[in-house]
Amino acid sequence: MVIPEFSHSGVYAAALTPLKPDLSADHAGLLGHCRWLLDNGCDGLAVLGTTGEANSFSGSERMSMLEALIEGGVPGDALLPGTGCASIIDTVELTRHALGLGITSVLMLPPFYYKGVGDEGLFAAYSEIIERVGDDRLRVYLYHFPQMSAVPLGFDLIERLIENYPGIIAGMKDSSGDFANMSGAARRFPGFAVFSGSDEFLLDILNVGGAGCITAVCNVASGLAAQTLTAWRDGDGRADDLQRQLSAVRKAINAFPLVAALKEIMARQSGDKDWRNIRPPLMALNDAEAAELFNRLAQTGYCLPDVIGDTP
C-alpha cells in the first residue's frame, strides 16, 4: 500500500527540546536528538510544537534553535517547525525566518489567546499571515489541537483556506484524538495531508488516505512506528501486531503528563539527568510517577531504545 503524494508524509516525531539546568535550550542536545530520530525511523521532525515546549520559548530562542539544526546539517525539508503564536505578527516573523533557512513547511497553530472567535476571525488570521509572509514556497500544515489551544479548526474553515490558498494549505496535524475528525478531513480534502497526532491511529489514518503520524511518543518509539508503517506498505501481516504494541506504549506514557513522561524516559535511557529539565508551567515527574511510568511501560513488552539524545 502507498501513501498519496504529499509534501510531507510518514512517521514524524514531535521532537522534545532538551534544556540546560538554567532552562535555556540545549542546542547541541537538540541537534543530537534530532539526528538520532532521523537515523531511527523518523521521516521528518515536527520540532518546536507542543511537545517541544515551543510556546514556552521566546521568538528569538525559537529562531536560534532552528538555525542550530540547519547549521548542524539537518535537512530543511525534513523539518516541520511550529510557528503559530498568539500574535499573527510573531507567527509571520517565525515563518519568514524558517523560509529564510530553507524550511518551507511549517506547522501552524491558530492565534490561541482569544477563544470563540469563529471561522471569520480564524480565516482572517491565516490569510493575514500568508499574505504577509508572501512566499509561494510556503506550505502550511494546520495544527488542530482543541484540548490545548482551545481554538478548534473546523472543516468549513479548512475548505475555505484550501480554496483561497491552494498549494499553500498543505495539510493538518490533528491532535484531537478524534478519529472521525481526522478521517473525515482525509476523505473530504484530496491532496491535503492529514497526520494523526495520536500513535494509535497510524494504520487507521493511512488506510483512509492520510499522510502518517506526528507524535510525541515517537521521541522514544520512532523505530516501532516506522516498522508499523513499513509492514503496512509491504502488506506483510505484521502491521496490526506492531500497531497494537505502539498503541500500548502510547497508552502507558499518556497516563502521565506527556512531555514530562517523555523527558523522564530520555533521562533514564540516556543516563543524562538534564533531560528532566522542563520549563514551567510544565513540571518533571516525581519519583513515584516515574516508577509507575516504567512499570506500565514494562507491561507493554516494549524494549525502550538504549542510546538516545547523545550529543554529537
Stretch that binds a second copy, among 48-56, 136-144, 169-177, 261-269 (CB under 8 A): 48-56
Q: Is 125 near a second copy (CB under 8 A)? A: yes
Q: Which of 17, 95, 149, 215 is close enough to bind a second copy by CB under 8 A?
A: 149
The least CB distance from residue 286 to a second copy, in Å, is 9
Stretch that binds a second copy, among 54-62, 216-224, 229-237, 302-310 (CB under 8 A): 54-62
- For a second copy, which is the closer residue by CB, 151 or 262? 151
Q: Is 165 a catalytic residue?
A: no
Which of these is catalytic: 17, 95, 126, 173? 173
Q: Is 102 near a second copy (CB under 8 A)? A: no
The least CB distance from residue 9 to a second copy, in Å, is 27
Q: Quote the radius of gyration of the chain (alpha carbons, Å).
A: 18
Buried b (16+ CB within 10 A) or exposed e, 171-181: bbbbbbbebeb
The least CB distance from residue 38 to a second copy, in Å, is 27
Rounded-to-10 torsion of CA 276, 252, 10, 167 = -80
- Residues forming contacts to a second copy in the complex (CB under 8 A) are 23, 50, 55-59, 61, 85-90, 93, 110-115, 117-118, 120-122, 124-125, 127-128, 147-151, 279-283
